Amino acid sequence: MLEVKDATITVGGQVLAVGLSFMARDGELTCITGPEGSGKTSLLRTLMGFLPVGSGYVSVDGELLTVKSSQAFRRMMAYLPQQMEQLRHQLEPPEAPTSKADDYAVWGGGLSLKPVSETIAAPLSPEEILRLAAETLRQSADKQIIIADEPAARLSSEQTMQMLDLFRQQAEAGKTVLIASRKPQIVAEAQQVINL
């Protein structure tokens, strides 16, 4: 169970939420919703210890979550970030760069070498996003908390239902499932909705 009590969420000096309190229970699907820029992602990042809580607290099974202790708590979490389509390299590690003879190296005109810039990988297709989500959840069988940030943003209605099925299975297994989403399908399925 994850509890947020009187929490203030602040990012870069901008207060996004004040006095926020809720409890995400085991076996339930909790949806955090609200307009764009309302602080859904920041709240999830706070729950994972990537951002500090301005005031109030976050606890997991009664244990206080702080930035210092967050690493230990994250071992209990599975996370599907926003912009999952950018995780191409998580699905397929990039190939080793090919080198031409004049790229050379030992004894060569070393400092004339140009730096190599990384290229942006092609975004994942909706099918690949679903595959990565399923794979991540499958590997997180021993984790108690599932956190997903706009997991269905790029999915069709049918694919959103498939994604929801994945989350439902996790909740049925007794896990705490927290999803930030504006999709009505997901909001309608949640046992608890937190409006920011």
Partner 1 sequence: MNTSLILHTILGLLLLLIPAGALYFLERKMLPTFLVSVARMVVQLLALCLVVWALIRLDSPWLLLVWLVVIAAYSGWLVLKRCQLAVGTFLPAVGAGLLVGVALCSLWLLALVLPVRVFDARWFVPVTALLTGHAAAMMIRGLNTYVSALKTDEQQYEFLRGNGQSHFKALMPFLRRSLLAVLSPTIANLSGLCLTAMPLLLCGIFLGGMTPINAFVLMLHMTVGCVAASVLALALAIWLADRQLFDKFGKLQ
Interface contacts to partner 1, rule CB under 8 A: 48-52, 67, 71, 74-79, 81, 83-84, 86-87, 89-90, 93-94, 96-101, 103-108, 110-111, 113-121, 136, 140, 143, 147
**Tokens found for residue 60:** 């997991």
* Closest among 25, 30, 68 to 49, alpha carbons compared: 68
Cβ 179 to partner 1 shortest distance, Å: 14
Contacts of 165 (CB under 8 A, 6+ apart): none
Cβ 20 to partner 1 shortest distance, Å: 19
Q: Between 68 and 158, name the residue whose CB sits nearer to partner 1.
A: 68
Q: Between 86 and 125, name the residue whose CB sits nearer to partner 1.
A: 86
Cβ 75 to partner 1 shortest distance, Å: 4
- Taken in order 1, 35, 121, 105, the sign of the CA dihedral is negative
CA distance 74 to 154: 26
The answer to whether 40 and 33 are in contact (CB under 8 A) is yes
**Tokens found for residue 96:** 């080793």
Q: Between 36 and 117, name the residue whose CB sits nearer to partner 1.
A: 117
Cβ 188 to partner 1 shortest distance, Å: 26
